[in-house]
Structure 1
Amino acid sequence: MASGQPITKLSVSTCKDEEEILRAQGYQLINVDLNKGAGGNYVFLWYKKESGKTPVTRIEFSFTDQMKSGLADAQYEVVNRDLNAGVGGDYIFLWYFYGSTEYDIPIVDLAVTVVATEEPVLMKDGWERLGCDLNRNARGNYIYLWVKREKTSYIQEIAATVDFYSDKHMFDLGYTRVCEDTNRGAGGNFVFLWYRRTTDKKQALTDLNISTSLQEEEKLQREGYKVLSVDLNKGTGGNVVFLWHKKEGDQLIQDMALLINSEAWSEYQKAGINFIEKNLNEGNNGVQMHIAYK
């Protein structure tokens, strides 16, 4: 776990020689194997905190070639090390960005979770979970990177995309992509949720919900929710699934997570974190997936 001043650089090691090089260059180690439970290489995340240097404000991951183009075009820095080295899962790469929009808040802390019981504690303490399982399709533990920012921040806007053509535009607008396909295992389009952050409490979202039928859509409309009009099941033949949100009430949303680990579903609920019972892959054979938020 990192702490203190903003993080200015990130790197990854996949072997002992790389560990020695990064240590000699002044990087600090996050001592959690990003391949835990999957075998393969020992893979570690490293960071630097350099006085006077521009802080890192966003971290993303790619697990398909299509995800890389928008990141590269938006001037994200790639760490050219496969986080699944030696295990045969998806080729996962870490990207980071020095942003200057109003939605960019410096990252000062990093943490990695490897079991579901660790996750709700961090979310309740104001950490932000990044959406990519770093063991994606490699079996092993569900591993997630978490960040803590210089100031308390909230989710002020949510969007969704059903292809990769607008990725650069979304990054340029200050959005963070939730790096998990809501259609995972179901075929259809690659569908991703995105969010922008704010330090202004008045701009924060306060409630989220999901509809999987026309009846549920009507109910949420009557209750004053606004719809994100992108079908999160697009191309699968399953139910039409919409995400809904509100900006009314006292509960200010600091983070949301797409949960594909069945062990996490009960852990988040036991911790008192909001858990949406509706499955984002309702009506198809994809991975059962739920949203939790606080």
Structure 2
Amino acid sequence: MKAVNNVVVTVGGQTIPGYTRDPIDLNWGAGGAYLYLSYELVENPPNPITDLTVIWGDSPDISAPAGYEKINHDLNEGAEGKWIYFCIRRGGPDGPVRDLKIIAGDSADTQPEAGWERIPVDLNAGSGGKFIYACQRR
């Protein structure tokens, strides 16, 4: 079964061979750079991602939680607002992440369909624009 092996943030029209690029701009409505979640799905990877989380703060010096790796690309690049980063974990108590996606809406109540877990941090926090959330499915 396929699982998420790697996560990156791509800019503008950038694509990476072998990666799926979610079509929703992470800065939708907030200005700033056109940023996209891109991820690699691999059949039975030896060390898959088991959790995606989001951290945010008032400076770029925020650290990933224990056991996580910070993807060092500010998700509010070029927009006003908080410094926001994806963090990934490999191993741990959860099974592998099988899929990722971004959802957007006009309120903080925006939810994914059944079977998806919404990460409860608005990726446009402090910058206006749409309410944007990363979601994962195990």
TM over 0.5, shorter chain: yes
- Residue 214 of structure 1 and its aligned partner are, at CA, apart by 5.8
Q: Which residue of 2 aligns with 1:78?
A: none
**What is the TM-score with the length of structure 1 in the denominator?**
0.42
**Shift of residue 162, structure 1, vs aligned partner:** 2.7
- Which amino acid in 1 is paired with 2:40? R
> Counterpart of 1:176?
20
Say which of 266, 281, 284 aligns to 2:124.
281
Q: Which protein, 1 or 2, shows the higher relative CO under an 8 Å CA cutoff with sep ≥ 6?
A: 2
Task: Specify every segment of 5 or more residues in structure 1 that has no aligned partner in the other structure, as ranges.
Answer: 1-151
Structure 1, residues 247-281: CA drift from partner, whole Å, max 9, x if none?
1124110011211145651x54xx46422110000
* CA apart distance, 1:177: 1.0
Q: Return the alpha-carbon distance in structure 2 between the equivalents of residues 234 and 278 of structure 1.
A: 16
User: In structure 1, how many angstroms separate the alpha carbons of the residues matched to 2:88 and 2:129?
Assistant: 24
Taking only the aligned residue pairs, the percentage that are identical comes to 26
CA distance in 2, matches of 1:180, 1:235: 17
**Matched residue SS, 1:245:** strand
Alignment of 1:124-203 (within 5 A): 152-164=1-13, 167=14, 170-171=16-17, 174-203=18-47
Q: Which of the numbers 72, 83, 92 marks the counterpart of 1:240? A: 83
Q: Aligned-pair RMSD on alpha carbons?
A: 2.3
Q: Which amino acid aligns with 2:62?
A: E
- Which structure shows the higher helix fraction? 1
User: Which range moves more in the overlay, 154-163 or 237-246?
Assistant: 154-163
1:214–1:239 Cα change, 3 Å? closer
Question: Is the contact made by 2:4 and 2:99 (CA closer than 8 Å) also made in structure 1?
Answer: yes
Change (3 A) 1:264 1:231: same
Matching of residues 263-274 of structure 1 within 5 Å: 265=111, 268=113, 271=114, 273-274=116-117
Q: Higher strand fraction: Structure 1 or Structure 2?
A: 2
The answer for unaligned runs of 5 or more in structure 2 is none
Q: Is 2:96 the partner of 1:252? A: yes
- State the 1:160 CA deviation: 0.7
- Pair member with larger Rg: 1
* Aligned partners of 1:161 and 1:230 also within 8 Å: no
What stretches of structure 1 move > 4 A for 4+ residues in a row? none
